[in-house]
Amino acid sequence: MTSETITADTAGTWQLGDLTVNRLGFGAMRLTGSAAFDLGTPSNREQSIGVLRRAMELGVNHIDTAAFYFSSLRSANELINRALAPYPKDLVITTKVGPVRDPSGAWQPHARPEELRGQVEENLRQLGRDHLDVVNLRLMGQDSVSEHFGALAELRKAGLIRHLGISNINSEHLAEAQSVAPVVCVQNRYGVQSRSTDADAILRLCGEQGVAFVPFFAIAGEGREQGASAADWSGDEVLRSIARAHSATVAQVRLAWTLQQGPHVLAIPGTGNPDHLVENVAAAALRLSADELARLDSLHG
């Protein structure tokens, strides 16, 4: 694949409410360091800023972030603000609320409904925005979402949030949230060999309802926040053979498979490496055959 000539719009577009985004986006989690929540390994600030600016040059107009993405010296939102403000008019920034980290980086119990306004306002301050384009409620083991989602719906009515989404959910959570306010996107773990419980059913349900499905850890797989292992990067022989056939990387095959799960599926691969950024965006042009898709599907037991 000739990566340098491929831009994010090659994958097509989808609507997040009234906002149009290219289906190949960017996840900001890895901008802060080698692992998402590793306080001891901060990233190179100028390189991270350069990756964000290069992403815009490559047509990325959808960034996924969160105020709890920070390392000892880096905050993803601060990097986004520094690199991209004043923001391009077509740029959509999606953030998440719900999980809580104290200033030392330690995880706390998830936010109570009345604490979500503070989290929204923190994202606004860090990003330098007067409203947030999309806010996802990231679940942390809750059985019910109505109180938390209701609190965000009130902030939407107040003009602090434009659209709402939900993350790390099951089918019942989606229906419950939709009874409170419109849902424009669902973020769940989903990849060739690794996905959350009933993720396939939720993906299909989202497609039927016109809701964007946004997989996370599509490349990292079981490595999750720590990133893909050497085995994940090299992949199973099926992945390697398909990659060779397309002169592509295994990561590109994983992303292409993700995008071909439906026109409503968005990809948000994250990286702090400028070369990996170019490769990830180039996956927007990779088209897998029906046979190749079937072979990849067979890898998930």
SS3 content of the chain, % helix, strand, coil (to 5): 45, 20, 40
In sequence order, the 6+-apart residues with CB closer than 8 A to the CB of 295 are: 238, 242
In sequence order, the 6+-apart residues with CB closer than 8 A to the CB of 294 are: none
69 is catalytic: yes
Owner of token pair 């039927």 = 208
Q: What whole-number distance in Å separates Cα of residue 25 and Cα of residue 205?
A: 22
Q: What whole-number distance in Å separates Cα of residue 26 and Cα of residue 96?
A: 14
Q: What whole-number distance in Å separates Cα of residue 248 and Cα of residue 292?
A: 14
Q: Are strands 13-16 and 19-22 parallel, antiparallel or unpaired?
A: antiparallel
How many CB atoms lie under 10 A from the CB of residue 57? Answer: 9
**From 14, 26, 69, 70, the catalytic residue:** 69
Q: List, by residue number, the catalytic residues.
A: 69
